[in-house]
Amino acid sequence: MRVLTGLQPSGDLHIGNYFGAIKPMIEAQNENEMFIFIANYHAMTSSQEGKNLRTNTLKAAAAFLSLGINPQKSIFWLQSDVKEVVELYWILSQFTPMGLLERAHSYKDKIAKGLNASHGLFSYPVLMAADILLFDSQIVPVGKDQIQHVEIARDIALKVNNTWGEIFTLPQAKINEEVAVVVGTDGAKMSKSYKNTIDIFADEKTLKKQISTITTDSTPLEEPKNWQNCKIFSLAKLFLNSEEQEELKKRYEKGAEGYGHFKIFLNEIINAYFKEAKEKYENFLANPQELEFYLEQGANKARKIAKEKMQKIYEKIGL
């Protein structure tokens, strides 16, 4: 299957992102033809501060590569390195009814949150359709909020195919139903908008601070504790095999340890789990040449496919 996904370079990644989206994507590399890019054009709709966008883009690329996107297995690039996508966006705009975009929830939500109602924000789904259709993507893994955008891409593809014949593959959105929602430090869904995250690449001090804010009940230190509804336990569980989970349950049931001890334990296992990725991440940022090499290699592969597709489209549209 040809699987494509775009990732917004939007700040620090948290362990909810990791277990909910990144880990499944890394595992999927073994069975699929994966196309993964950093959606820096899309990020322009929420901020026009060039310096921030550049830093965030490189950080995101470093993060995904160090967490396990393998440039030998997947095609990984920066959206803005394959300009054909913007050209296709304009062509697709001719096939996009206003009403289709006017119905987009994401646009309405962003306006309600105070973003400027720019044409860029309004036409965001058309650029996303270009990302998807340029590469004949079959499966598009996305978060729930993006399903409608994949449906818009499908609608646009249908409209083009009706006019030109079967030129585009019809994409299908995929959300990872098996992965459970990761809870944040306050018990709600972990999300950067709730400021309840534990970040993957946090420095030691920040990680400790984030873990210290996990709320617990007030069972005294010496008494047995309930792991079933303890947020520290639900988070720790993500990093432990079943044997290790049983051991931790026993420590809860035994008493004699307080939540502070379990927080220290959680800190240790998170550190150990991401140790290697953190080292790679720091290394990529300190030596951007290696990072740039992978991005260029990815862009070259993506561009070749994009150019071939565009040739067919030029013939149809008369360019």
The reply to whether 189 belongs to the active site is yes
The reply to whether 110 belongs to the active site is yes
For residue 190, state whether it binds ligand ADP (rule: CB under 6 A): yes
167 versus 175: smaller Cβ distance to ligand TRP: 175
235 versus 295: smaller Cβ distance to ligand ADP: 235
In the set 23, 73, 159, 192, the catalytic residue is 192
For residue 23, state whether it binds ligand ADP (rule: CB under 6 A): no
Scan residues 132-151 and list those touching ligand ADP (CB under 6 A).
143
Q: How many residues bind ligand ADP (CB under 6 A)?
A: 14
CB of 178 to ligand ADP, least distance (A): 11
6 versus 16: smaller Cβ distance to ligand ADP: 16
Q: Secondary structure of the chain in the HEC alphabet?
A: CEEEEEECCCCCCEHHHHHHHHHHHHHHCCCCEEEEEECHHHHCCCCCCHHHHHHHHHHHHHHHHHHCCCCCCCEEEEHHHCCHHHHHHHHHHCCCCHHHHHCCHHHHHHHHCCCCCCHHHHHHHHHHHHHHHHCCCCEEECCHHHHHHHHHHHHHHHHHHHHHCCCCCCCEEECCCCCCCCECCCCCECCHHHCCCCECCCCHHHHHHHHHCCCCCCCCCCCCCCCCCCHHHHHHHCCCCHHHHHHHHHHHHHCCCCHHHHHHHHHHHHHHHHHHHHHHHHHHHHCHHHHHHHHHHHHHHHHHHHHHHHHHHHHHHCC
Note the residues at the interface with ligand TRP (CB under 6 A).
Answer: 4-6, 8, 39, 42, 128, 131-132, 140, 142, 146, 149
Q: From ligand ADP, ligand TRP, none, which one binds at residue 132 (CB under 5 to 8 Å depending on kind)? A: ligand TRP
Scan residues 82-121 and list those touching ligand ADP (CB under 6 A).
none
The reply to whether 195 belongs to the active site is no
Q: From ligand TRP, ligand ADP, none, which one binds at residue 39 (CB under 5 to 8 Å depending on kind)? A: ligand TRP
Report the interface residues with ligand ADP, using CB under 6 A: 16-17, 19-21, 143, 179, 181-182, 189-193
